[in-house]
């Protein structure tokens, strides 16, 4: 009777796991046990704890290197994007006419930024001698929903919006677009970029450069377009 009471209770896995969590130094004091531990593997063979730890560390290292590589790629892309934006902004500041302003923006977006579809529309009560221009009333009638808020709007636009921004010929090829108004002490125009991929501009992520360009344009354009009247 006494022998049965004194005999130790069998340990279950949860008890062992709880003990090891409370005593993480256990295997430091009992290193001789590590080589004897075996962990079942998918192949059906048992591997030692050390081998298992090495495998896990190797897999984790590969995953971390992959993530680091992705971060480095993003950083390099951002550096290139910043440099292109900087050059464009400087060219806009150096422009001596409205024609130069329009040419700098369209050429840079198409060739430097590799944007296949670009739409720059200025608002004016009189037709401007360069680029595309419409009255503010017409713009609000066609794309009024894209002009409010002052933020970049991204996604799949409606057919009549695409036709207004990119022209009838290109509209059918645009799958998604990013649109921002030229707004500084009044509304002076709208800038749009498009892609054939419907998922390319699914969010405003990655279009921060477009907002910067629009902010500069909104300050530069009024200085050259005297017929242009801002809309408050």
At 167, which CATH number?
Answer: 3.30.450.40
Q: What share of the chain is helix, strand, coil (3-state, %, to 5)?
A: 55, 15, 30
Question: Is residue 133 domain-resident?
Answer: yes
Last residue of a domain, one of 29, 51, 77: 77
Same domain, 115 and 211: yes
Helices and strands (DSSP H and E) totals, the chain: 9, 7
pTM of the model: 0.69
Q: What is the DSSP letter of 112?
A: I
Same domain, 49 and 127: no
Instruction: Give the model's pLDDT for residue 147.
Output: 85
E-assigned strands of 124-224?
132-134, 153-155, 176-183, 187-195
Same domain, 67 and 130: no
Per the CB < 8 A criterion, the answer to whether 122 and 228 are in contact is yes
Q: What's the mean pLDDT in 122-139?
A: 87
Task: Please give the residue range of the domain that contains residue 68.
Answer: 14-77
Same domain, 111 and 178: yes
Same domain, 64 and 122: no
Same domain, 51 and 111: no
Across 16-25, 72-81, 100-109, the highest mean pLDDT is recorded for 100-109
What does the alpha-carbon distance between residue 127 and residue 114 come to, in Å, rounded to a whole number? 29
Question: Is residue 124 domain-resident?
Answer: yes
Same domain, 207 and 99: yes
Question: Is residue 34 domain-resident?
Answer: yes
Phi/psi of residue 48, each to 5°? -75, 160
Question: Is residue 163 domain-resident?
Answer: yes
Question: Parallel, antiparallel, or unpaired: how do β-strands 132-134 and 46-48 relate?
Answer: unpaired
**Is the predicted pLDDT of residue 172 greater than 70, yes or no?**
yes
Q: What is the DSSP letter of 113?
A: S
Same domain, 103 and 72: no
Both tokens of 109, joined, read: 């977006």
Q: What is the mean pLDDT of the chain?
A: 84
**Is the predicted pLDDT of residue 108 greater than 70, yes or no?**
yes
Question: Is residue 123 domain-resident?
Answer: yes
Same domain, 109 and 35: no
Q: Please, which residues have CB within 8 angstroms of residue 19's CB and are 6 or more apart in sequence?
A: 26
Instruction: Give the model's pLDDT for residue 85.
Output: 92
Both tokens of 221, joined, read: 């354009």
Question: Is residue 6 domain-resident?
Answer: no
Question: Parallel, antiparallel, or unpaired: how do β-strands 187-195 and 117-123 relate?
Answer: antiparallel
Same domain, 108 and 200: yes
Same domain, 188 and 125: yes
Q: Which residue stretches of 97-182 are H helix?
A: 98-107, 136-147, 159-166, 168-171
Last residue of a domain, one of 77, 109, 127: 77
Question: Is residue 119 domain-resident?
Answer: yes
Instruction: Give the model's pLDDT for residue 189.
Output: 92
Same domain, 185 and 139: yes
CA 61 to chain centre: 26
**Structural domain count, the chain:** 2
Question: Is residue 146 domain-resident?
Answer: yes
**Is the predicted pLDDT of residue 2 greater than 80, yes or no?**
no
């Amino acid at each position: 009777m006494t022998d049965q009471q004194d005999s130790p209770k069998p340990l279950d896995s949860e008890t062992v796991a709880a003990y090891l969590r409370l005593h993480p130094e256990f295997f430091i004091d009992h290193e001789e046990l590590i080589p004897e531990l075996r962990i079942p593997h998918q192949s059906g063979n048992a591997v030692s704890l050390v081998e298992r730890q090495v495998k896990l560390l190797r897999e984790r290292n590969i995953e971390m290197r992959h993530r680091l590589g992705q971060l480095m790629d993003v950083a390099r892309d951002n550096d290139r994007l910043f440099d292109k934006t900087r050059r464009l902004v400087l060219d806009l500041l150096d422009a001596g006419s409205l024609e130069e302003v329009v040419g700098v923006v369209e050429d840079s977006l198409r060739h430097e930024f590799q944007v296949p579809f670009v739409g720059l529309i200025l608002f004016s009560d009189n037709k401007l001698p360069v680029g595309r221009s419409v009255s503010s009333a017409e713009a609000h009638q066609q794309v009024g929903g894209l002009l409010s808020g002052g933020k970049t709007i991204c996604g799949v636009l409606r057919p009549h919006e695409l036709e207004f921004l990119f022209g009838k010929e290109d509209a059918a090829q645009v799958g998604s677009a990013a649109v921002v108004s030229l707004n500084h002490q009044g509304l002076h125009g709208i800038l749009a970029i498009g892609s054939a991929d419907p998922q390319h501009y699914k969010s405003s992520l990655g279009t921060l450069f477009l907002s910067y360009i629009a902010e500069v344009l909104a300050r530069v354009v009024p200085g050259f377009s005297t017929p242009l009247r801002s809309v408050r």
